[in-house]
């Protein structure tokens, strides 16, 4: 099977992107993990191994995604055959959730996902069997779902099991109780059966839900990876997998359900109380020591020092220079609430006017509570200090005094791109401005990737980081996650950074950023601009890239265009922007164009001589 991104203009032939699915013959696979050891299966994202249990979401961050999967894909479709193969799997999981009833956490899913480059799963699954803690208006929460590829319908049932053929027992999957699951994928009959019960209980004779659809075969790839994903948008929910077995040649091997660790509400509450008391005690000691050290430093090291700030030894090597705190205090009228432009995970941004030059600026104050504040503050100074381009937000100066960390930028009077295209903005951006901003962002990325002495990877390209100047020109801002490399140097990273919806799929495997991962994010921004939709609709769990790609395959690509600006654009222009967005957000990084190629298409849109 060949999937094709083909753009129907002669100078767009460079974007003919192919994805060839492997056709290797099936081999029988069988395994059983009664507990996990380091190296048994790949664990990515926020997932980690704790003892012999896989915790899918971290304990600290608010938004957290983790995955674990079997490293060998299953062959479920055969060449020159209309039949699909079968497999059976069983696993034990538990979820402990303390979130309010309306909190949008996703719970835990068993996924079937297509391969990327043949050996890692795509972050976008084909089928999910979801054990949901999310609240859905039409379903409530505490349900089990089978989510096939759109537009196939979702099947769901309240969580529970049949203790006999007529007696149904409810289960609270948010309680921390260990629950065993049996999933039977019946390929010849195009059926998925899901059965659950408390761990240690005999398998019920009747499944909780059964899903069958004749179109299931055409929606699946020849090979799929299987595994688990945990999604959490708010704190206080934990998902874990304790054991797992699978067979492609008969029933899944039985699991040992004795002596399993139990995560109960009472135990968690007690442990949290102990941790809280210990944390308070440690904090008091640290505060006392910090006060003592601070007093000693003030008395012995800063006695007689001038009130005028002195430049650091390294500071004179870089531009821009340090701005005294007193100047910024005056410029922002004491960091008044009236001048507050916005706030985020790394602090607040204030509007101000520098007293000597009357230059309007935006002062970004890095939050003292941000764990990565200093590192990202320094990253922005290093990244932005010498970068000069019309499509980048200009850094004018910086300030560091004691624990005060600030960056001073040119003020962008028209705010950020996302505020002009999503929901119901007061001043909806027209098509002409949108097209120009997409081109501006591409030009800025080209400068970062190819136009400077070092290669700069932004790593957080998104519509809220595209700011609009007085002329409605787009400028890339927020370089807190940016990294500098020598041209041709192999990039490295120890964690995934960026924003959900803009992260390229391969980052879940390699974690190392590349120009291709920046291009993917740019592709999402282009689709946002053309459609007026956010990258992920959390009310429906619809992913923008998948939705536009589906319309493209159905020959209805222009249905993705923002209906609020109907009549403003030429269909050919809208089609090009959507296709450039799709090409740049191709799931395979090797199939994406470079940002130079994407920019050339945008610039040549109205020029017949471009080839």
Which residues carry a binding-site annotation? 364
State the Cα angle at 534 between 533 and 540, rounded to 5°.
95
Report whether 309 contacts 294 (CB < 8 A). no
CB atoms within 10 A of CB 298: 11
Is 460 noted as a catalytic residue in this protein? yes
State the Cα angle at 365 between 361 and 368, rounded to 5°.
175
Q: How far apart are CA 183 and CA 45, in angstroms?
A: 25
Q: Give 14-71 as a DSSP string.
A: GG-EEEEPP-PPP---EEEESS--TTSS-EEET-EEETTEEE-S-SS-SSEEEEEE-S
DSSP 489: P
State both tokens at 430. 């027209």
Residue listed under structure tokens 């055959």: 81
Report whether 221 contacts 207 (CB < 8 A). no
**Residue ranges for the binding site for ATP?**
364
Report whether 154 contacts 146 (CB < 8 A). yes
Residue listed under structure tokens 């459609």: 531
Residues 6 or more apart whose Cβ sits within 8 Å of residue 564:
428, 532
> What Å distances lie between residue 215 and 67, 157, 530, CA to CA?
28, 22, 31
Catalytic pick from 128, 184, 440, 460?
Answer: 460
Q: How far apart are CA 592 and CA 574, in angstroms?
A: 20
Residue listed under structure tokens 């990737």: 449
Report whether 146 contacts 194 (CB < 8 A). yes
Q: Give 382-449 as a DSSP string.
A: HHHSS---TTBPPEEEEEEETTEEEEEEE--TT-BTHHHHSSS-SSPPPHHHHHHHHHHHHHHHHIII
The beta-strand segments (E) located in 122-167 are 127-132, 143-147, 155-158, 160-162
Q: For residue 404, what are the β-bridge partners?
A: 401
Q: How far apart are CA 14 and CA 12, in angstroms?
A: 5
| Secondary element (H or E) of residue 543 | strand 542-543
Query: What residues are annotated to the active site?
Result: 460
């Amino acid at each position: 099977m060949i999937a094709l991104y083909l753009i129907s203009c002669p100078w767009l032939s460079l974007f003919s992107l192919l994805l060839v699915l492997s056709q290797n013959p099936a081999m029988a696979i069988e395994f059983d993990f009664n507990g996990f050891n380091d190296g048994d299966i790949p664990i990515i994202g926020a997932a980690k191994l704790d003892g012999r249990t896989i915790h899918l979401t971290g304990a600290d961050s608010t938004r957290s995604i983790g995955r674990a999967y079997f490293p060998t894909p299953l062959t479920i479709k055969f060449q020159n055959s209309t039949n699909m193969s079968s497999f059976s799997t069983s696993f034990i999981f538990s979820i402990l959730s303390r979130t309010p009833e309306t909190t949008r956490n996703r719970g835990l899913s068993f996924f079937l996902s297509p391969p990327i480059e043949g050996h890692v799963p795509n972050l976008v699954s084909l089928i999910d069997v979801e054990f949901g803690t999310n609240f859905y208006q039409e379903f409530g929460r505490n349900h089990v779902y089978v989510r096939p590829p759109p537009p196939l319908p979702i099947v769901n049932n309240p969580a529970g099991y049949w203790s006999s053929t007529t007696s149904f027992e409810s289960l609270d999957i948010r309680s921390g109780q260990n629950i065993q699951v049996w999933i039977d994928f019946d390929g010849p009959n195009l059926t998925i059966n899901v059965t659950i019960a408390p761990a240690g209980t005999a398998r019920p004779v009747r499944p909780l839900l059964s899903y069958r659809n004749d179109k299931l075969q055409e929606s699946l790839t020849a090979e799929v990876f299987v595994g688990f994903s945990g999604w959490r948008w708010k704190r206080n929910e934990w998902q874990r997998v304790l054991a797992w077995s699978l067979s492609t040649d008969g029933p899944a091997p039985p699991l040992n359900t004795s002596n399993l660790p139990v995560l109960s509400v009472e135990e968690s509450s007690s442990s949290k109380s102990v941790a809280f008391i210990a944390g308070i005690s440690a904090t008091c000691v640290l505060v006392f020591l910090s006060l003592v050290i601070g007093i000693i430093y003030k008395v012995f090291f800063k006695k007689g020092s001038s009130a005028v700030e002195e430049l650091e030894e390294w500071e004179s090597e870089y531009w821009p220079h340090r701005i005294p705190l007193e100047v910024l205090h005056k410029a922002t009228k004491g960091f008044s609430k009236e001048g507050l432009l916005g706030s985020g995970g790394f602090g607040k941004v204030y509007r101000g006017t520098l007293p000597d030059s009357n230059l309007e600026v935006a002062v970004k104050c890095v939050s003292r509570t941000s764990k990565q504040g200093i590192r990202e503050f320094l990253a922005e100074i290093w990244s932005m200090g010498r970068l000069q381009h019309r499509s980048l937000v200009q850094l004018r100066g910086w300030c560091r005094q004691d624990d005060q960390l600030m960056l001073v930028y040119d003020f962008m009077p028209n705010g950020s791109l996302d505020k002009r295209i999503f929901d119901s903005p007061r001043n909806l951006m027209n098509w002409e401005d949108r097209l120009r901003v997409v081109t501006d962002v591409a030009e800025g990325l080209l400068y970062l990737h190819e136009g400077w002495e070092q290669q700069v990877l932004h790593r957080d390209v998104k519509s809220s980081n595209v700011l609009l100047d007085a002329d409605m020109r787009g400028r890339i801002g927020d370089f807190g996650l940016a990294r500098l490399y020598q041209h041709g140097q192999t990039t490295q990273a120890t964690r995934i950074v960026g924003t959900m919806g803009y992260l390229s799929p391969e980052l879940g495997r390699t974690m190392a950023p590349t120009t291709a991962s920046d291009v993917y994010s740019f592709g999402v921004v282009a689709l946002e601009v053309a459609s007026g939709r956010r990258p992920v609709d959390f009310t429906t769990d619809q992913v923008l890239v998948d939705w536009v790609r589906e319309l493209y395959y159905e020959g209805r690509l222009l249905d993705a265009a923002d209906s609020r600006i109907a009549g403003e654009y030429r269909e050919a222009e809208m089609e090009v922007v959507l296709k450039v967005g799709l090409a740049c957000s191709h799931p395979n990084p090797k199939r994406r164009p470079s940002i130079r190629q994407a920019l050339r298409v945008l610039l040549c849109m109205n020029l017949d001589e471009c080839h």
